[in-house]
Every structure is written in C-alpha cells, then in structure tokens.
Amino acid sequence: MDYTLLSAILIGIAVLLFLILRLKIPAFISLLIASILTGLIAGLDAEQIIKTIQEGMGGTLGFVATVVGLGAIFGGILEHSGGANAIAAYLTKKMGTEKAPLAMLISGFVIAIPVFFDVAFIILIPVIYAIQRTTKKSLLLYAIPLLAGLAATHAFIPPTPGPIAVADIIGADIGWVIAIGFMAGIPTVLISGLVFGKYIAKKIHIDAPEAVSELKTSNLPSAKAIFAIIAVPILLILINSFVASDIISISNGTVKNIIKLIGHPFSALIIANIIAWYSLGILRGVKSKDLLQITTKSMAPAGTIILLTGAGGVFKQVLVNTGGGKMLAESLVDIGFPVLLFAFVTAALVRVIQGSATVAMITAAGLVAPLIINAGMDNASLACLVISIASGASIFSHVNDSGFWLVGQYLNLSEKDTFRSWSVMTTILALCGFTMAVILNSIL
C-alpha cells in the first residue's frame, strides 16, 4: 500500500470536515481546497492540479447542471400551480380519513420528484394540520409518513439533485437509478413512514396549531393532470434505459434513435417543462412574464447544488489522477470489504459529522467512483450503489442538519421529541434503503 497516497486522502477528508464544521467555509470552496491539498500531498504539480480541477468540474457539470436546472424549473412551475396541494387533497378525499397517513405518504413520494424537500414540506404542512384538526389524533400520524415519502424520493429518485449528482459521478444510468429507486423506496417508506409513524404517534401526541386561515383547495389544477405531467419525464427516461439495455427489444433503427433522443434526461425534462409551462401556466391564465419570474426564482437554489456537485467531481478526479482511488479499490478487494457497504458507511459518517445529506452524497460518490472504474459493474449494480450512498447520506438527521430544525419548528416538537420522531425515522429509512439496495443487487 502507498502510505503517501493514503495519507493524502485521509488528510484531504480531515481538512474538508474541519473547513466546513469548524471554520464554516462553504462546502463548495472547502471541497476545492481539500482536493488541491490532496493532490499536492499525493505528488501532483501545479499544472496537473489545475488541469484536474478543470477536468473534474467540466466533466461533471456538463450533465448535472443541465438536468438540475431543468428539474428546478419544472418543480417551480408545479409548486406555483398548487399541484402539491391538488395531489394531497385528491388522495385524502379518495382514501378517506382512516387512510390519510397512506395518502400523505404517497403525496410526499410523488411531489418530491419535481419539488425540493423543504419546499414540498412547507407547502403540504397546512394539509396535515387540517387532517389533524378533524381527527384529533397526533399530528405525527400524518407528518411522519409525509416526511418519509419526501425524504426517500428526495434521496433515491432522479431528477432530484442528490441522485442525479451521484449517478453522474459514478457513471450510473439515470433510468436504472429511477427503477431501483422506486423498488427500494416503496418498502422503505412503508416501514419508516407508515409503520414507524403509527408507533411514534402513540408515544407522542402533537396537536396542530390554531388555524390562522383556511386551507385553500379551490382553483387547484387537476390532480390527475399533475400525476401525468410528473410521469412524463420518468417514463421517457425509463423506456430509453430499457431499450438501451435490450430489456425492451426494438429493431427499427429510426424508432430506436427517436427513443434515444426523447428519452435522454435533457429532452425528457424539456418536454415536461413545455407541458407544465403551457398546461399549468398559460392555460390557467398565468402571463408569460410571470412564468419567467417563477422559473428564474426556482433556479436560485439549484445554483448551489450545481457548484457543489462540480466540486465533488473535482475531488473524484483528484483520486483518479493520483491513483488513490485504484489503491483504495485494491485494498478493499484484499480485505473482502463490499463496495456497497463502504459507500453506505462513508456517506453515513460524513452525514452524521457535518449534517448535509447533499455534501455527504457527493463526498461519498467522489470516494467511491475511482473504486469501480475497472470493477465491471452493470447498470443495476451501479444503481444499487447510488441507493447505498443515498441511504447512508439520509441517516440520523440531528442538530447540525437544517431539516432537523425545520421539522421541529413546523410540527411544534421539542428537541427531544424531534430526535425521537424525525431522527429515528431518517435512521430507519437509511437502514431499510441500504438493505433493499443489497437485496436488489444480489438478485438483479
């Protein structure tokens, strides 16, 4: 083993965490500094380091920036239209009060595909408030399933930024990540959302705050239309991936080429945006200039994620160019340590230490990517690896995670009860997600 390379990697990670945790330097800058330091210790000269930064940043952002930007615009239009409330209201009405927890779980699972976690949660809070005031049961009976659905989809299913970034860094096919994300996510949310939600609601009774204003349910778009619009890019990407993998066999070259074009995440999201722009905007009387403002505003949070992902790509490229990734891979093989477990543990450690799930996912992906260059992993295995990283990055949200305080504030929970409910739920979600990834990896 090359101990200089090992020292470079360990020092780089230690410096990264020190800069973020102690000095409060933005993760984007911290990742770049850690990458440069790792390269220097590993023996790269100045010119090699600059080229590595350009290579890592450019290679990553060519795909991620486009998809995350298009996804943010798509989500912004759906959010403004009231689509989230439409889905929640529709499912609650169809399923009835008794099945309201399941309705909230499905709402969260679907809505978090196009809409960021925290935004979707804030949008749907009035819905669970209204249900609790009617049933008088603990607010957690409805909040935990909603949160589980939001958290699982946000971590597991593209085009949300986390799995998009990880998939690009490790070279996983997006269609396969969507498919594996759904297969792993459904049992995961049923256990962490419904089962745990029912349990913790009996232990902690929380009432919704007094209603300041009535929940608006008028002039909402059709829930069925919202489901259809969200399904469009997902189905196009899935069909393209399955055709490319010969799971769906098409001999006609022209048809295959058309599917390849419209099923690429770029085209699929452009099509979804055009449909949303017209059906949820123009047809509902929203002026073009207002839609422009909505979409421009929606891209603001995407900028941070895009830059952070690019910096994660730089860290990965440093490990590739120095040979550190190859050395780690050979060491793991020698001791028989499974790559999926390494990915999960790495993401979990970074998550618990510094709080941000996105930083944890990108850091873990950067460490894992060089290990699998010559591993010969197929599309299904790479997708399972993405879910393993996403699961680890979701574990045990606590005081250093903004989500911990967001949930506690809106559900009126003490810090102790937030730990007992939200933190435990995220841990169950992470463990279930990883278990499903291992199972799916062994049978696919």
Three-state secondary structure call for residue 96: coil
Please tell me the distance from the alpha carbon of residue 157 to that of residue 153, in angstroms, as a whole number. 5
Please tell me the distance from the alpha carbon of residue 355 to that of residue 20, in angstroms, as a whole number. 10
Domain count, the chain: 1
| Sign, Cα dihedral of 176, 178, 179, 182 | positive
Cα angle: 285, vertex 125, 309; to 5 degrees: 80
The pLDDT of residue 167 is 95
Three-state secondary structure call for residue 312: helix
- Average confidence (pLDDT) per 10 residues, the chain, 444 residues: 82 89 89 93 93 90 89 90 91 92 96 90 91 94 97 94 92 95 98 98 92 65 93 94 87 91 95 94 91 89 84 88 80 81 92 87 90 85 97 92 90 94 98 98 93
Please tell me the distance from the alpha carbon of residue 346 to that of residue 364, in angstroms, as a whole number. 6
The pLDDT of residue 298 is 86
The pLDDT of residue 217 is 65
Packing angle between helix 27-42 and helix 46-81, nearest 10 degrees? 160
The pLDDT of residue 216 is 62
The pLDDT of residue 300 is 83
Could you tell me the residue range of the domain that residue 351 belongs to?
3-443
Evaluate whether 167 touches 403 at the Cβ level (below 8 Å).
no
324, amino acid identity: G
Tell which residue, 417, 324, 310, has the closest CA to residue 367.
324
The pLDDT of residue 348 is 93
The pLDDT of residue 215 is 61
258, amino acid identity: I
Burial of 66-83, coded b for 16+ CB within 10 Å and e otherwise, reads bbbbbbbbbbbbbbbbbb
